[in-house]
C-alpha cells in the first residue's frame, strides 16, 4: 500500500483549513491556465506484481491564507493553505506509466505546485508466500518550492531528473500486536527526496531483484532476552536488537 507515501506527503500539510478571508471556505478547485508549465512524469513498473500508485500532489496558496491556534502559547498563526490531490498514472507503452502535473493550479486561490510523491508498491504478494499481503510502498518525494523542502533533507537537482534504484523484497512477520505477514520493498532509502528546478520531466525507473529476500520475524510473545530476527538472503542473521536490514550488505551479497 502507499500509506507510507501518504505519511511523507501529508506530514508536510498543516491541519485546520480556514477560509480565504478566514470566514469563508477555501476553494480548492484547480483551473490551470492555458500557458502553465506541465511536469512530465514517467514511472517504469519493474514487475507484474507491482504497480505505480496514484501520484500524490500538493498545491500551496498564499492567496487564501488560513489561521490556526498555536499549541505552545495559544497565539493565532496565519499560514498558507494546502490542497492535496491524487492523480492516477496511465499506462503508456509496455511497462512505462505516465502522468502530467500542472505547475500552476490556478483557481481563485492561485494554487501553485509545491510537492509531488510518486512510486510503486506490491499489488500481489502471494507469489512469494500464500499468506502474504502487500505492504508499504517505495518511491520519490519531489519539492518544487522552499516550503516543501524546508526540513533540509532534500537533494538539489537541476534539469530533468532520472532516478534508477534497486530494491529487494522485504517480508515482515508480526506476531505480537498484530498477526500479519506483509511484503514490501527494501531500498537504500525507501523514499528519496529531491528539490528540483529548471526541469520538464521526471523519470523513476526502479529495479526489483526477487532473488534476494530479506525477512523480519517477530517472536510469538514478548519475552526478556528474546528479540525479533532479521534474516538475510544467504541465511545469516543480523545482530540482536537490529531494527533495520543493512541494504548494502544485501546488495553486495552473492546468492548461488
Q: What are the pLDDT digits (tens) for 65-76? A: 998 887 778 788
Give the closest residue to 214 by CA, choosing from 232, 227, 228, 229: 232
Range 203-224 average pLDDT: 94
Give residue-wise pLDDT tens across range 24-48. 588 999 999 999 999 999 999 999 9
Asked if residue 23 belongs to a domain, the reply is no
Mean pLDDT check: name the lowest of 22-31, 83-92, 146-155.
22-31
Asked if residue 29 belongs to a domain, the reply is no
Asked if residue 21 belongs to a domain, the reply is no
HSE-CB for 63 with a 13 A CA cutoff:
13
- How far apart are the C-alpha atoms of 32 and 57, rounded to whole Å? 14
- How far apart are the C-alpha atoms of 44 and 167, rounded to whole Å? 13
Give residue-wise pLDDT tens across range 94-133. 899 999 999 999 999 999 999 999 999 999 999 999 999 9
Asked if residue 25 belongs to a domain, the reply is no
Range 229-246 average pLDDT: 95
Q: What's the structural domain count of the chain? A: 1
Cα angle 78, 80, 85 (rounded to 5 degrees) comes to 145
DSSP for 93-140, written as a single string: STTEEEEEEESEEETTTTEEEEEEEEEEEES--GGG-TT-EE---EEE
Domain around 74: 3-12+38-252
pLDDT-based confidence at residue 255 (cuts at 50, 70, 90): confident
- How far apart are the C-alpha atoms of 237 and 185, rounded to whole Å? 19
Asked if residue 214 belongs to a domain, the reply is yes
Asked if residue 216 belongs to a domain, the reply is yes
Asked if residue 26 belongs to a domain, the reply is no
Asked if residue 18 belongs to a domain, the reply is no
- Is the backbone of residue 156 left (phi > 0), alpha (psi -120 to 50) or beta? beta
* Residue 240 exposed, middle or buried by CB count within 10 Å (0-12, 13-18, 19+): exposed
Amino acid at each position: 500500500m502507499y500509506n507510507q507515501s501518504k505519511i511523507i506527503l501529508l506530514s508536510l500539510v498543516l491541519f485546520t483549513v480556514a477560509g480565504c478571508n478566514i470566514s469563508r471556505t477555501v476553494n480548492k478547485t484547480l483551473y490551470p491556465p492555458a500557458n502553465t508549465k506541465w511536469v512530465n512524469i514517467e514511472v517504469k513498473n519493474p514487475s507484474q506484481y507491482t504497480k505505480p500508485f496514484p501520484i500524490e500532489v500538493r498545491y500551496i496558496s498564499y492567496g487564501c491564507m488560513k489561521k490556526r491556534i498555536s499549541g505552545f502559547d495559544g497565539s493565532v498563526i496565519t499560514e498558507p493553505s494546502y490542497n492535496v490531490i491524487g492523480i492516477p498514472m496511465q499506462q503508456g507503452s509496455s511497462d512505462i506509466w505516465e502522468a502530467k502535473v500542472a505547475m500552476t493550479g490556478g483557481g481563485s486561490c492561485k494554487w501553485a505546485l509545491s510537492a509531488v510523491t510518486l512510486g510503486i508498491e506490491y499489488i500481489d504478494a502471494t507469489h512469494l508466500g500464500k499468506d502474504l499481503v502487500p505492504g508499504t510502498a517505495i518511491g520519490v518525494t519531489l519539492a518544487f518550492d522552499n516550503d516543501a523542502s524546508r526540513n533540509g533533507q532534500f537533494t538539489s537537482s537541476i534539469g530533468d531528473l532520472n532516478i534508477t534504484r534497486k530494491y529487494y523484497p522485504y517480508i515482515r512477520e508480526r506476531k505480537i500486536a498484530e498477526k500479519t505477514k506483509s511484503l514490501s520493498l527494501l531500498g537504500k532509502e525507501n523514499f528519496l527526496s529531491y528539490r528540483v528546478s529548471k526541469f520538464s520531466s521526471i523519470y523513476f525507473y526502479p529495479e526489483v531483484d526477487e532473488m534476494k529476500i530479506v525477512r523480519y520475524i517477530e517472536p510469538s510473545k514478548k519475552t526478556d532476552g528474546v528479540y525479533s530476527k532479521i534474516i538475510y538472503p544467504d541465511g545469516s542473521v543480523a545482530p540482536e536488537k537490529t531494527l533495520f536490514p543493512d541494504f548494502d550488505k544485501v546488495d553486495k551479497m552473492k546468492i548461488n
